[in-house]
Amino acid sequence: MRIAFVGKGGSGKTTTAALFSRYTAGLGRPVLAVDADINQHLGVALGADPAAPPPRALGGDLTWLKDHVRGENPLLPSADTMIKTTPPGPGSRMLSLDPSGELLRRYSAVAGGVRYLVTGAFDESDIGVSCYHSKTASPRSRPARWSCTSTTCSTARGSTSRST
């Protein structure tokens, strides 16, 4: 199950996503939280030390991320052929919630009992309709019943997002 917390600026997306993620993780459910908000505060809201460096940003090395998610997909011969909304296909690597997986080992951190990812800071070219796809190369979570992903996301003008 994927759950998105969207809304205008300052409406409580990050707070609600952090509380929901902690509550769900506290029930023993597997949770992966993704901070795709323009203001990247989810880690601190979960309980991370504000003075500690954030986890490695998904948007920081898009070539690695695209190569990872395209996997052995013969339709995508290189990372350059992937655009923001390229869907997964045969041979693509899906995001697993197993913390020993390569992607989570590279990018995720844990705060308040919740494993989380961060897209990294947004700049002008990312905002508007681009939203978090521009930072994540559209990694898709495995559509399994046991998964639960929460995302916090906002848009440039603070209106409701359409891309989560």
Ligand X SMILES: Nc1ncnc2c1ncn2[C@@H]1O[C@H](COP(=O)(O)OP(=O)(O)OP(=O)(O)O)[C@@H](O)[C@H]1O
Report if residue 14 touches Mg ion, rule: CB under 5 A.
yes
Q: Quick check: 96 binds ligand X (CB under 6 A)? A: no
Stretch 19-38: interaction string toward Mg ion, x if CB under 5 A: ------------------x-
* Residue 39 sits in the site that holds Mg ion (CB under 5 A): yes
Distance (Å, whole) CA 26 – CA 128: 34
- Binding segment (CB under 6 A) for ligand X, from list 3-11, 61-69, 85-93, 122-130: 3-11
Indicate which single residue of 37, 69, 117, 150 sits in contact with ligand X (rule: CB under 6 A): 37
Between CA 150 and CA 31 the distance in angstroms is 7
Restricting to residues 121-160, name those near ligand X by CB under 6 A: 154
Does 13 help bind ligand X (rule: CB under 6 A)? yes
Binding of ligand X at residue 47 (CB under 6 A)?
Answer: no
Sign of the dihedral defined by the CA atoms of residues 134, 136, 137, 141, in that order:
negative
Closer CB to Mg ion, residue 13 or residue 93? 13
- Closer CB to Mg ion, residue 13 or residue 115? 13
